């Protein structure tokens, strides 16, 4: 954006840091350090940059209120901007809050897209031992974070239920010594749900996350089980968990395969029918079996965005009919756009949340920088292994490897991201870029992660700008 005109002699304001890019037609998007945005016609943007905006204009007032310009010699406005910036990044000070326990690699499902490269159920050597589980619990409590989320993953964690139970008991003990806000989540296909497990969920306050890919035919195609209809079992057991511990303590995740792309409405209807109030529309990951089954499951980021757009509009229509229902990825991004707060969502952090927002303890005691990092380890790549539960906590979290990883994942210094107006809504995802493009930073013009996110950010901003009812609905998703 260039101008040859001289700077206006009437200039009485200074510019605060901002990024900009063409948005649509002659309109540009400008965003600032705290994620505030404005859509400006090109001519207004030129005037703004030349410091030629009239003080009496509504745009001037708006841009001043949103910290794009400053015309006051006092430090009040800058102090406020700094306070908002600190609030956005407050999560960094807490350090690692999410601790993932890979209690076993065994699984009784045969999902073609499995990210964890799950092993068949008879191989007990892929289970976490009691000793490793207890050491991992102690390791996680070394984190200074005032909030700890202990998440049990697999494989299928209920195949090693004793470890889940013992780790929860140990964490409860540790929490009595130095209390934190402690939360447990178990990610399960729910095929092994028993009354004993249900009563454990009730007593421990466990949150349950299961997998539901949509209607029966689609779910069973994506997530085959050797002998039973996975769909019927998971639906029956979702209802049992809802009755036992309440609807708010169970959620479901879907994975979008190529087969899912034509069914956004049916997938959402399935979630509504089961009493869920939200869905996370999750693209397929490039880890584990996904690679071998790429021809069956994979698709372009453009195809995912078409699916996502159709789904989002369908969800908005449901809300307009009085059915409260939320898309979780949109809600995370909208919180970044519409509130002063950050989010703990690990894929959208700068610097990356690897190690400092999340640690994953594999079944064998090795510690990884994220869940995806240990998935990569199942593909014989130990790039993101940080140590072992026998190691000293400080040695692991202050290792050169982790420090290098964090310093390479500041979007503020990454080519492509540093000038991107969507930077404050986005994240680094070094494991995905390493997997797909060979380095932690990645090449953004050809990055699928970048293409998908940029499209979704634009989609949400267009809806916020053009559709009053969509904006009203989005407000209810973030407050
Ligand atoms: S990854 Fe893409 S969308 Fe995200 S900040 Fe970087 S350039 Fe922007």
Tens-digit pLDDT profile for residues 271-312 = 999 999 999 999 988 776 555 555 567 789 999 999 999 999
Judged by average pLDDT, the poorest of 7-21, 40-54, 172-186, 388-402 is 7-21
Task: Compare 285 and 236 and report the one with higher pLDDT.
Answer: 236
Task: Compare 118 and 151 and report the one with higher pLDDT.
Answer: 151
Q: Residue length, the chain?
A: 479
For the whole model, what pTM was predicted? 0.93
Take atom 1 of ligand 1 and give the residue whose Cα is closest: 450
Q: How far is the CA of 239 from the centre of ligand 1 (A)?
A: 40
20 close to 37: Cβ distance less than 8 angstroms: no
Q: How far apart (Å, rounded) are the C-alpha atoms in residues 135 and 155?
A: 20
Using pLDDT thresholds of 50, 70 and 90, give the confidence band for residue 11: low
The strand pair at 37-41 and 27-32 is best described as antiparallel
Q: How far apart (Å, rounded) are the C-alpha atoms in residues 175 and 145?
A: 12
**pLDDT value, residue 399:** 97
**pLDDT value, residue 122:** 62
Whether pLDDT at 114 is above 80:
no
Q: How far is the CA of 46 from the centre of ligand 1 (A)?
A: 24
Nearest atom of ligand 1 to the alpha carbon of 421? 8
Judged by average pLDDT, the poorest of 30-44, 200-214, 274-288, 316-330 is 274-288
Whether pLDDT at 413 is above 90:
yes
**pLDDT value, residue 109:** 75
**Residue to substitute in 23, 452, 454, 457 for testing ligand 1 pocket (most ligand atoms within 8 angstroms of CB):** 454
**Residue to substitute in 305, 409, 417 for testing ligand 1 pocket (most ligand atoms within 8 angstroms of CB):** 417
**pLDDT value, residue 5:** 44
Q: How far apart (Å, rounded) are the C-alpha atoms in residues 285 and 301?
A: 12
Ligand 1 in reach of 301 Cβ (< 6 A):
no
Using one digit for the tens of pLDDT, what is the confidence trace for 46-81?
Answer: 999 999 999 999 999 999 999 999 998 899 999 999
User: Token pair for residue 202?
Assistant: 């009730």
**pLDDT value, residue 3:** 45
**pLDDT value, residue 296:** 65
Q: Which long-range contacts (CB under 8 A, 24 or more apart) does 384-387 make?
A: 384/354, 384/431, 384/434, 386/355, 386/359
Q: How far apart (Å, rounded) are the C-alpha atoms in residues 411 and 418?
A: 6
Task: Compare 291 and 164 and report the one with higher pLDDT.
Answer: 164
Nearest atom of ligand 1 to the alpha carbon of 428? 1
Angstrom distances, CA of residue 181 to CA of 75, 98, 175, 478 = 36, 12, 9, 22
Q: How far apart are the first and last CA of the chain?
A: 36
* CA 373 to mean position of chain CA atoms: 15
Arithmetic mean of pLDDT, 139-161: 96
**pLDDT value, residue 225:** 77
Ligand 1 in reach of 425 Cβ (< 6 A):
no
Ligand 1 in reach of 450 Cβ (< 6 A):
yes
Task: Compare 412 and 288 and report the one with higher pLDDT.
Answer: 412
397 close to 344: Cβ distance less than 8 angstroms: no
| Mean pLDDT score across all residues of the chain | 92
DSSP character string of 165-197? HHHHHHHHHHHHHS--EEEEEEE---TT--HHH
Strand partners, 153: 102
Using one digit for the tens of pLDDT, what is the confidence trace for 343-400?
Answer: 989 999 999 999 999 999 999 999 999 999 999 998 899 999 999 999 999 999 999 9
Using one digit for the tens of pLDDT, what is the confidence trace for 417-450?
Answer: 999 999 999 999 999 999 999 999 999 999 999 9
- Identify the burial level of 13 via C-beta atoms within 10 angstroms of its C-beta, where 0-12 means exposed, 13-18 middle and 19 or more buried: middle
Arithmetic mean of pLDDT, 4-13: 58
Ligand 1 in reach of 346 Cβ (< 6 A):
no
**pLDDT value, residue 2:** 43
């Amino acid at each position: 954006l260039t101008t040859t005109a001289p700077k206006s002699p009437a200039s009485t304001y200074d510019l605060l840091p901002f990024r900009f890019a063409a948005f649509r037609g002659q309109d540009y998007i400008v965003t600032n350090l705290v994620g505030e945005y404005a859509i400006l016609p090109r001519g207004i943007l030129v005037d703004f940059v030349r410091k030629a905006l009239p003080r009496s204009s509504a745009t001037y007032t708006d841009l001043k209120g949103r910290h794009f310009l400053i015309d006051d010699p006092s430090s009040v406005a800058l102090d406020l901007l700094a306070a908002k910036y600190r609030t956005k990044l407050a999560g960094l000070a807490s350090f690692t809050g999410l601790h993932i326990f890979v209690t076993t690699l065994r699984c009784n499902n045969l999902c073609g897209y499995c990210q964890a490269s799950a092993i068949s159920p008879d191989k007990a050597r892929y289970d976490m031992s009691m000793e490793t589980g207890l050491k991992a619990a102690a390791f996680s409590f070394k984190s200074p974070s005032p909030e700890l989320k202990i998440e049990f993953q697999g494989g299928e964690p209920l195949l090693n239920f004793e470890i889940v139970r013992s780790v929860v008991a140990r964490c409860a003990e540790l929490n009595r010594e130095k209390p934190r806000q402690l939360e447990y989540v178990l990610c399960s296909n729910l095929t092994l749900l028993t009354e004993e497990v249900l009563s454990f969920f009730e007593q421990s306050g466990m949150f349950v996350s299961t997998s539901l890919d949509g209607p029966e035919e689609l779910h069973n195609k994506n997530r085959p089980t050797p002998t039973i209809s996975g769909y019927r079992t998971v639906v029956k057991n979702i209802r049992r968990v809802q009755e036992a511990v309440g609807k708010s303590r169970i959620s479901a995740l879907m994975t979008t395969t190529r087969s899912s792309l034509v069914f956004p409405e049916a997938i959402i209807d399935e979630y509504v029918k089961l009493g869920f109030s939200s869905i996370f529309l999750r693209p397929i990951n490039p880890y584990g079996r996904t690679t071998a089954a790429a021809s069956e499951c994979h698709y372009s980021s453009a195809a995912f965005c078409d699916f996502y757009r159709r789904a989002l509009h369908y969800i908005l229509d449901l809300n307009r009919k009085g059915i409260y229902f939320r898309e979780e990825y949109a809600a995370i991004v909208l919180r970044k756009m519409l509130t002063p707060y950050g989010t703990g969502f690990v894929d959208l952090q700068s610097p990356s949340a690897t190690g400092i927002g999340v640690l994953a303890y594999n079944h064998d005691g090795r510690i990884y920088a994220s869940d995806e990092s240990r998935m990569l380890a199942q593909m014989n790549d130990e790039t993101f292994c940080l140590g072992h539960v026998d190691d000293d906590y400080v040695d692991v979290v202050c290792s050169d490897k982790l420090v290098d990883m964090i310093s390479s994942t500041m979007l503020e210094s990454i080519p492509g991201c540093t000038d991107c107006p969507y930077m404050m809504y986005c994240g680094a995802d070094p494991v995905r870029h390493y997997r797909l493009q060979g380095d932690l930073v990645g090449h953004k013009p050809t990055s699928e992660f970048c293409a998908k996110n940029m499209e979704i950010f634009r989609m949400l901003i267009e809806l916020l700008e053009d559709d009053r009812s969509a904006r009203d609905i989005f407000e209810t998703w973030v407050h």
